[in-house]
Every structure is written in C-alpha cells, then in structure tokens.
Amino acid sequence: MNAPISSAVNCPVIPNPSIDTAFTASSARLPTPDTLRQRVPLNDSLREQIARQRHAVQQILSGQDDRLLVVVGPCSVHDPKATLEYADRLAALSEQVSEHILPVMRVYIEKPRTTVGWKGLAYDPDLDGSGDMGRGLALSRELMHAVAARGLPVATELLQPMLAPYLDDLLSWVAIGARTTESQLHRELASDLAAAVGFKNATSGDVQVAIDAMEAAAHPHQRFAVDSQGHPIVQQAAGNPHTHVVLRGGHGEPNYQAHHVRAAIAALRNAGQNPRLMVDCSHANARKDHRRQSEVMLDVLAQRQSGEANLVALMLESHLFEGKQPLKPGAMRYGVSVTDACMGWETTEHLLKTAAERLA
C-alpha cells in the first residue's frame, strides 16, 4: 500500500456565506478527483490488470466464459486492517478456485440506508459521526488500490455520483443498489462506466425497474458531472452495454428459486436484454439472516447444474468473522461487520471450494 495519504487530506471549513442554503451550518472543501488520483496513482501494470479483470467479468456476463462470477466480501468496509486481511485470504483462495470461479471483492465504502445509520467509510471513517469525508474519500481510494494491488478485482456500489471520478478507474464491477436502480441519475452514471454494472431489483421485489435500468444505461446520455479537476461539466456518456440484473429478493421474500429465475429471464428476453443473472444470496434472498446465504447459493448452483446456464453470477456478504456488531468506538470486535450480518471466512472458503468442485 502507498504511504497513507488519508491523514494528510486537508479540508478547510468554509462558514455558510449564503441565505440560499439557510440550513447549511458550514461546508468543507474536498480534494479534486485528480488530486487523489495523483496521490494514489495506478501504475501501468495495475491499469492493465484492471482492464483484463473488467474484460473477464464482461466475458462471463456475455456467456463467453463459463466460470462463475462471485462478488464476495464485507457488507461494508470500516477497518482497513481487517479489510486487507480479508483481501489476502481471498487472493489466496482465488488462485485455488480460478479455473471455475472468478472472485471479485466487495469494497463497499458507501451504504444506502433504509432510514438513517452509518453511511460508510467515505462518509465517516472514524465511525463516530464526525464525518471526515475528505479523509474518508482518500482512505477509500487507498483501500481499493491496496485490494487491487493484491491481484483482486474490486467491486463497489456507486451511490453518490460525484464520488465516481475518485474511484472508478479501480473498479471491475459496479452495483447500482435496490434503492437507486430506478433513479435516472444512477442509470446515467452506469451509462458512463467502463466496468460492468449490476442493477439490483427494487426493495419491493420489482424486477422490471432493473430491466428498464439496463435499457436506459445502454443509451448514450448527456449528464451533469464533475471533471477530474472538480469543475462542473456536461458529460457525454457513451452508453454501457455490459449491464445485468441482480436478484436480491424484496420485502423479506426471496426471488432466487427456479420459477423466479425463469420469470426474470423471460422478462429480460422480452425486453431484448441480456438474460444472464446474478443472484445476491444475502439481503431479502436470505431473509436478512446471513446463515441462509449458503442455502441460497447451493440452490442456485443446483439450478445451474441442472441446465440453467443464465445463472452466471452470485453475491455473498462475508467477513472474517460471522454476524454483525453495533458501532461502539473503543469496543469493536475485529473483522465483524458493522452493517448487515455477514457469513464468516471459514464458511465462505468452504462454499467457494464446494462451488468450484461442483462446477468442475
């Protein structure tokens, strides 16, 4: 990992000068995307690695590589040390299963909340509500860079479109989450990315919004954006042909079983879209119980073994240790999620090895 820059990021506070934003107490300047990219740069070899990994993901999603894509890792990353220990373990496991599985690590630094809660490392790296977003952003880039430097493809959910230029050169797969799949801004953002994008079905379980999102993202768009120097610009987005649906269940009800999968594929075909699917084994598919992810994964593998070739990808929420914990600064358990409960490393390793054997 490069020398940490996150502590050196200076964000001067500007008192609110305007009556137009009467509820804003103050604001603080952030570094520009260029500043962070120069401080945590990609060298040629990492750039080539990420280009290869993006291509490999896209080959699976277009049916030209029959390996299983598995997006796996913590619900959110909050502790760089535990994140990198997880990355070291996943990188070693990845080598063992790579003939049949392409693992991509979740490095989720923004969390969409149902109401309120900790919004992720980019927002609050000190986990105490102090909201040092300049440091959070720098730490997020450092962490993604360090995971990529371990040879792993990096996945994240892009939630705040403004953050994309700080991070998108590091990403091999991007999620648009269940709460934002219907958002035009997120569809425009997806249309502008070089990495493949998975659109989650809505929290209600509605899959059609994700199919509509694929159509919207495949189109070129003119979008409001910020350039690498932080200037507002009109960005011409080319349209992204590498998108797919992620089935994550809805309103506590799963949608990974064979009849759900057949219905989603039929709807995708009907809309003229890529029928290949990712199943998120967590969230409503696991009825928010991390222990059920194994059951979901094994069911999906069985469907694939019985001929459902459109099931090309899975998502797992996994950390070093299982479960979750509340945020209590000074009393945190190492390697345990602070957002959704995750399966532990041993279960993860066992499941990925089982999947590789079954796919052999």
Ligand X SMILES: O=C[C@H](O)[C@H](O)COP(=O)(O)O
Ligand Y SMILES: C=C(OP(=O)(O)O)C(=O)O
Closest CA relative to residue 251, chosen from 116, 158, 114: 114
Residue 117 contacts which entry, ligand X, ligand Y, none (Cβ below 5-8 A, type-dependent): ligand X
Residue 248 contacts which entry, ligand Y, ligand X, none (Cβ below 5-8 A, type-dependent): ligand Y
Q: Which is nearer to ligand X, 308 or 340 (CB)?
A: 340
Pairing of the two strands 13-15 and 26-28 = antiparallel
Buried b / exposed e along 99-113 (16+ C-beta atoms within 10 A)? eebbbbbbbbbbbee
User: At closest approach, how far in Å is the CB of 251 from ligand Y?
Assistant: 12
User: At closest approach, how far in Å is the CB of 102 from ligand Y?
Assistant: 18
User: At closest approach, how far in Å is the CB of 94 from ligand X?
Assistant: 23
The CB density around residue 205, as the number of other CB atoms within 10 Å, is 18
**187 is a contact residue toward ligand Y (CB under 6 A):** no
Calpha distance 139→129 (Å, rounded): 16
User: At closest approach, how far in Å is the CB of 58 from ligand Y?
Assistant: 20
Residue 118 contacts which entry, ligand X, ligand Y, none (Cβ below 5-8 A, type-dependent): none
The CB density around residue 24, as the number of other CB atoms within 10 Å, is 12
**248 is a contact residue toward ligand Y (CB under 6 A):** yes
Token pair of 17 as six digits: 């000068």
8 A C-beta contact, residue 338 and residue 76: yes
The residues of the shown chain that bind ligand X, judged by CB under 6 A, are 75, 111-114, 117, 283, 339-340
**344 is a contact residue toward ligand Y (CB under 6 A):** no
User: At closest approach, how far in Å is the CB of 302 from ligand X?
Assistant: 25
Q: CB neighbours of 183 closer than 8 A, spacing ≥ 6?
A: 176
**67 is a contact residue toward ligand Y (CB under 6 A):** no
The residues binding ligand Y (CB under 6 A) are 75, 108, 112, 157, 177-179, 200, 248, 280, 283
